[in-house]
Structure 1
Amino acid sequence: MASNRPAPAAPFVPSQEQPETFGYGGYRTDEGPWEEWNPTEESIRPVRGRHRVAKQRGGLARSSTVLGVGVIAAVGAGGMASAQTGKPPVSISLPDLPNVGSLISDDEPAAETAATPLSDIGGTAVADSEDTGTAATADAGEALRTRIMAQAEQQQVQVDTKAQAATEAALAKQAQEAAAAAEKKAAEEAAAAKKAAEEEAAKKAEAERLAELARQYTLPTSSYTITSTFGQAGSMWSSGYHTGLDFAAPTGTLIKAVHTGTITEAGWAGSYGYRTILTLDDGTELWFCHQSSISVSVGQKVSTGDVIGRVGATGNVTGPHLHLEVHPDGQAGGIDPMAWLRDKGLTP
């Protein structure tokens, strides 16, 4: 190691306070007197062999290199401030320390006596500690953030899945309801169409039946006027109401068999005048009353449209007309001849 030249300094005066002393707050009379130490080549020559560094004030190992770094740090902390403000360099006084050579043992070569500067030790240790702690904190924070983000993402995925499932269920339900409604509507339309078709077929069948009956049945006379209907009330009738249907027509107008049947009565019948009864194959009796003449006899078979007599005014009447009554199964009480004729496809 190169020798250090002694730094010029003013002679030490105990009663005089040293300006800007290093490491102490100010001058103290109970400490000293101090001797200025200037290391030389002879005083700092390394001793071969291993050595141990004594602990000073807090256990920090000091070597010649450490001391130099400490001086440099002191200059950096205090003296450099003076240099920056333009003040001249000042001497640095240190407390009485053991000779540097006494701190070095003979066990280890000088090359091994070099120690890490205090500034580097503290800075490196703190830096390493801070870097390690910061890195560990950063890693832990990053891991926590990653875990939180993963949990949040998982929860969001679950929420989205549930929402999607609910939406799909709602859509499926709507589709089912729509399909059920469409099916119900189609069924109703089909039922309505079927009913309409059935009604149309029934009407057609009825029309055909009536047409066929019309060919089998006929009105009892022509050139007539309906003057009295079934059930009409009045004192002119012994029962208090009219029991048949009156076709007013001139005397001598032909009376025809309404349908095929057998003549079961032909002659005088009191208030009915001359009357002919035609019994059909189903047992229905047709009464033709107030005739002026009868053209058939009992037991005679007649067909639809055959002449059986003529219109007259015999019996209890006020003018010439044909009184027609209908008695199903020969029963005493009759039914409305107008409805019966219409049921046979005829319109009086």
Structure 2
Amino acid sequence: MAMQQLVAKLLALSVVVLVMMSSPIAGTASYPSLLQVGHYRQSCPAAESVVRATVEGYFSRDPTVTAPLLRLHFHDCFVRGCDGSVLLNATAASGPAEKDAMPNQSLDGFYVIDAAKAALEFKCPGVVSCADILALAARDAVSLATAGNTSGASLWEVPTGRRDGRVSAAAEAVANLPSSFADFAKLKKQFASKGLNVNDLAILSGAHAIGNSHCASFAKRLYNFTGHGDADPSLDASYAAALRASCPPRFDNATTVEMVPGSSTSFDADYYKLVASHRGLFHSDQALLQDQQAGAVVYSLLTSSKKSFLRRFGASMVRMGRAGVLTGAAGEIRHNCALLN
């Protein structure tokens, strides 16, 4: 019976998927830019291979590095656009930086970006931006973590040519980063502000297929969803019980659980099976089913090939990577990703 219901949903929503994939949502911003694949072909031919070698080196020792690198790029692009501002340290003059904001205090992987930047400064001083390193490292990390991609081939091409921003403010991170507790209307508005449509929102949510999450990011769903000691009714009851076992009421702030149980280091579309069965870890995951278009993407990915999901994920990553970029003479090319020149 459950399978018949699923098939019915797929058939009913298939038209919606096709229309949505070909049409942007109304009011979506556009971000034309000077980015191009191979931007460093003349100025630093080894740029992409240096980043790739750096990511491979860390990945070979610790496969959990993929999720932090993917998250760094995402958190960078949603605040001021993809300008490397998430990497900047606070100064006495500027005050708290993006990385100091509460949503960013669990960010990791900075050391990989710093290592790649140091190698590039040795080979091509002052040429490759930190913002581009973030975009390339995210692509390379996901490519390495994709099961079956035995050659480690790049899953998508990254247009480059970004320059680094000179402003980083914690308050802007709090205001602009999508929350794990957000409902669909809020998520749609935030993604649209970056030139991303509902299809992109649902596809990029697939980034939750990899990595771990701190209990604090979803504990409200388990113990106090509406402020009256209740659980989120959209969360499968048996899964909620399992999560409570891992994250008791007085959980340690360092305690984490896998985003996809049993699959924290491999990247695939299994995340959507969890969402469809009301086992998405975050409220924002389950929020995808609040909308007909986003729900259509979720159900379509239950039967799509892995290759199709990866192609669509790469396309949405490229679109996100164009958000609010600085090109030409704007911004700067930092010598140290944490410091202004």
TM-score tier by shorter-chain length is under 0.3
Q: Which TM-score applies when normalising by structure 2? A: 0.19
Q: Which TM-score applies when normalising by structure 1? A: 0.19
